[in-house]
Amino acid sequence: MPDFRNLIATQDSPFVTNLKAAGAIVIGRTNTPEFSFRGTTDNPLHGRTFNPWNDWASAGGSSGGASSAVMSGMGAIAHGNDIGGSLRFPSTCTGAATVKPGLGRTPAYNGSQAAERGILSQLTSTQGVICREVRDVRLAMQCAIKYTPLEPWQVDMPWDGPVHDGPIKVGFTQETYGCEMHPAIQDALNVAQEALTDAGYIVEEIDVPNMLEIGNEALRTLFGETKALTGDIIRKHGSAEFNTYFDHCYDIAPPYEGDELLAAYARRLSYIREWLLVLDRYPLVLTPFLLQPTFAHARDYEGREGAEDIMLKGFYSYSMNFMGLPAGNVSANFNNGLPVGVQLVGRRFREDMILDACEAIETLVGVMANRLFEIYG
């Protein structure tokens, strides 16, 4: 009788194994911030990752190293994961393309982990890729989703879903819930709306569930689980600057604890239900991603205001993780020489439909990496 526990513990990451089996060649590892918990990429061990467009801007995080490597031409596909925006933040900052897979789409098993992750991390963190253009994201994802029994949440589903009957309706929201939205974001949404309409989609402005409320619930629940399971480790091994930042995050979104945390887990289902009703009528929803263009490299370390500017106002990002919904990002505009991204949310297991819409926007706007290479050679 084989020792299944030992067999499981010695397995490589199935996500990476799937890519290698399809012919991918691993050439290196890329940089992330401390504990992968920032919207920019810097750490005391390896230092700062630069945005390839200029040395002022953030490369995003936590997969900032992955995004910068792809956009600067080091490789065609970069692996990253997303528990609150870690694929989409860096893609938006650098002009790359990505889709955050929904719950159950890709394997997330890590054979080197010392213990299983908390339940919210299991439900919200997904493995994905960052690429220079949408077609590469599609190709990589088609390879990466191969089923493995090592990942209990994964569902063995084909990449392409059923063909939609008639024009696809896209819901469109630009609601900010009282937060200020930069004009460049508004312009990007308008361009994306135009591109989708030109491509044959029917775009209608709609009301969606309160994203600021869902985002706040997502943060408080995530911080509650983090504080309970890894809080001591962060305090012990995190830098002084990082711990100060984390104090600001806890102040902005106080962690749920005890019965409050359990109740928040339960409320999560109602938010998912509300969004599934929206997606039943509109298979895709176009939203802002961030309410501002690419920010300065260390904006989140500029006191409580800086942390709030990145953390609190990213509610269109981490709310999608909280609900386990797939969401893609693609650039739709330029502001001061930097790309500006938008987000497309889709039905569960319809990452294919999301990328089709992203490609329609990319066709109108152009591949950002091509513009980057033209400028800097």
Contacts of 50 (CB under 8 A, 6+ apart): 59, 68
Q: In the Cβ-directed half-sphere of 359, how many Cα atoms lie within 13 Å? A: 13
Q: Find the length of the chain.
A: 377
Cβ atoms of 109 and 148 closer than 8 Å: yes
The one catalytic residue in 86, 91, 317, 331 is 86
Rounded CA-CA distance 51/64 in Å is 8
- CA distances 373 to 13, 132, 270, Å, are 33, 11, 46
Is 86 considered catalytic here?
yes
Q: How far apart are the first and last CA of the chain?
A: 59
Q: Count other C-beta atoms under 10 Å from residue 135's C-beta.
A: 14
Query: 190 is written with which tokens?
Result: 């308008």
CB 291 within 8 A of CB 274: no
Contact (Cβ atoms closer than 8 angstroms) between residue 66 and residue 74: no
Out of 58, 62, 63, 319, pick the active-site residue: 62
> Within 10 A of 368 (CB to CB), how many other CB atoms are there?
25
> For residues 168 and 196, what is the distance between their CA atoms, to the nearest angstrom?
10
270 given a catalytic annotation: no
Which residues form the catalytic set?
62, 86
